[in-house]
Chain A
Amino acid sequence: MNSRGGAHRTRQRPAPVRFVVSVLATLAFPVLARAHLVNSGLGPFYDGVTHLALSPDELLGIVGLALLAGLGGAAFGRMALFTLPLAWLAGGLLGMTGRITVNLPTATGLALIVIGTLVALDRQVPFAIRPVIVGGFGLVEGLQNGAVAATGALPAGGLLGIAATAFVLVALVAAGAVAIGKQPPWTRIVARVAGSWIAAIGLLMTGWALR
């Protein structure tokens, strides 16, 4: 009975299954594969993961946003979990068109100041502003990554790697912050201190960029 039910479910959703299979097949197509990944075709995806791992300013922004979202509660955390990677991808696709350029150190520095300060202050961010902050940061960073992808220096699949890494990071850090939020109030200080550091680093970055 179960297997019949399963078959029935499969027939009900042919399009999504076909979509998943085609996406996976595309990802696995051995283009631009390198060394270890020669048979997996996931080289571009790993390039994206590595790109983010080697970009501390982008990492700090993601961590800051996740802290801010987590301290704001599970709902804010969930919103950030999906909004940030999607905005990043959208920015990346937009950046690949080459129509918009952003000066990353200045933009990222300013974003770190805003995000870090909000975390340090530990104030509830108004509901309407939340997606603007999260989506704006993702869009700006995505634009830059997309512009890089357009030159061929970062494969287009790399954008997926970046978005996936951002998703994982936001999930882990935001959940940690939500857990902190449920502890005695003084534990929030840990997150607030981290926020102040992020703001300070943003200040340094911006100062350096504008000097």
Chain B
Amino acid sequence: MRTCTDIAGAVPERTPRSRRRADGWARATGVRSAIRGLRLLVAVLTGITPAFAHEIRPGYLELREEPANRYQVLWKVPTAAAALGEELAESLGQTSRPITEAALANRREPCGCPSLWARPRSPLTVSIHPVFPPEVRPLAPPVVRHETDAELWTWPVQAPGDGLAGAEITVHGLQASTMDVLVRIVFRDGQVATRLLTPTAPVLVVEATRRTGAGGYLRLGVAHILLGVDHLLFVLGLLLIVPDRWMLLKTVTAFTLAHSLTLAVATLGYAAAPLEPLNAAIALSILFLGPEVVRFRRGETSFTLRHPWVVAFAFGLLHGFGFASGLSTLGLPAGEIPLALLLFNLGVEAGQVGFVLLVLALGTSFRVLEVRWPRMVQALPGFAVGSLGAFWFVQRTALMVMGWSR
């Protein structure tokens, strides 16, 4: 039977000296007792009997690849005792403080797993924990933090040479609970694998290859634009300078055509743009729109305001190279690129359309709710576009220059 990853001897971090000193003062002056009493009262009044209340919330397991095959593990598990506060747990005769190595070594989970997860805990705590294959070795003791309703465990692990491919990750105790666990693996190339483990399916087998399915490319495209705040800000800048729906359609279409063109060209390997100057140029494109937004609000005119679609097309070519970086870093096999490109681009467009619709819907909502913004607030989006564009331009240019000087 597979057991927990063995990291016996892994004792969580000690309390810092300053914290111990502060605790001593608080204890001596009775402040801590008073706060404890108050928190207990609040917890009891608001909680009453919260046993197993948290089982309706999911646990969360994240593996984030940092250097190759080395992962930072984050395990978050709901704990009813934590929700009541350390004080109540202590008053129940329990403690969640670090314990000795010897005590850890002698403890076992109900599933038979050794020390790591077998900590003294309140009977209210949900008893589940992740299990990795033996070849996935822990590199350091876990650090445990308490939230008001959860425990957070973090520790690094080393996967074997071929990575996590084929590795079986199980959550022990899940079958006996009513909760789910969301597992998210973030690979170094930016790819993300997400799976929900449930009481009926508590095991995740990491796929042998890192290739995402067709839906994966689509999601990747959506995520790329929605998390690429610089692209979104550029689109927002365009939305702020178009006078009507027809011009909006023309501008967004021009931007879409342009970035699709360079995305395809770059992904197929016909052209490439060095990343650092490209990022600086993208920032410059956002900065460029800031003053135009201000001009538009003042009722002035310029070439950009008369023909925003031309600017959208020109800068769209740049942004397309930026989108391409999201796909090209995956290292896709040549045969898979056309499908990946198509779906990735569709994902980008879907994300972009979603963002445009959201901004338009928000504008409509403000009108329906009859919100009257002060002039300063009305100017805020333009200043946000310009200021962030300027900041990123300076930051990225500095990074680029520092890179050259090395």
Contacts and interface: CB of A to CB of B under 8 A. Distances in A.
A152 B152 CA distance: 10
Interface in A119-164: 144, 147-148, 151-153
A101 B387 contact: no
A200 interface: no
Interface string B10-49: 0000000000000000000000000100010011001111
Interface in B149-173: 149-150, 152
Nearest to B49: A210
A13 B49 CA distance: 54
A147 B147 contact: yes
B300 interface: yes
A24 B384 CA distance: 7
Given A101-B85, A168-B362, A175-B365, A25 B391 contact: yes
A161 B362 CA distance: 17
B83 interface: yes
A106 B369 contact: no
A76 to B, nearest CB: 10
Interface residues of B, number: 62
Contacts of A100: 39, 42
- Max chain A C-beta neighbours (<10 A), residue from B51, B55, B224, B371: B371
Given A40-B229, A208-B56, A144 B148 contact: yes
Contacts of A5: 298
B229 A103 contact: no
A21 B387 contact: yes
A208 B53 contact: yes
A101 B39 contact: yes
Nearest to A81: B369
B29 to A, nearest CB: 16
B49 A28 contact: no
B294 interface: yes
B186 interface: yes
B364 interface: yes
Interface stretch (A31-39, A83-91, A190-198): A31-39
Nearest to B85: A101
Nearest to B226: A46
A205 to B, nearest CB: 7
B387 A25 contact: yes
A105 B50 contact: yes
Please report whether the interface of chain A is mostly helix, strand, loop or mixed according to DSSP. helix
A135 B335 CA distance: 56
A49 B403 CA distance: 33
A72 to B, nearest CB: 12
Given A147-B147, A151-B145, 7 more contacts: A2-B298, A6-B298, A24-B388, A36-B223, A101-B42, A174-B365, A175-B368
Interface of B: 35, 39, 42-43, 46-57, 76, 83-85, 145-150, 152, 182, 186, 190, 223-224, 227-230, 279, 294, 298-300, 358, 361-362, 364-366, 368-371, 376, 380, 383-384, 387-388, 391-392, 395-396, 399
21 contacts: A20-B384, A24-B391, A28-B388, A36-B223, A36-B228, A39-B230, A74-B369, A77-B368, A101-B39, A101-B83, A102-B148, A103-B46, A103-B83, A104-B148, A106-B50, A153-B147, A168-B358, A178-B369, A208-B56, A209-B50, A211-B51
**CB-CB nearest 9 A-B residue pairs:** A175-B365, A103-B47, A209-B53, A175-B368, A171-B365, A147-B148, A103-B46, A36-B227, A24-B387
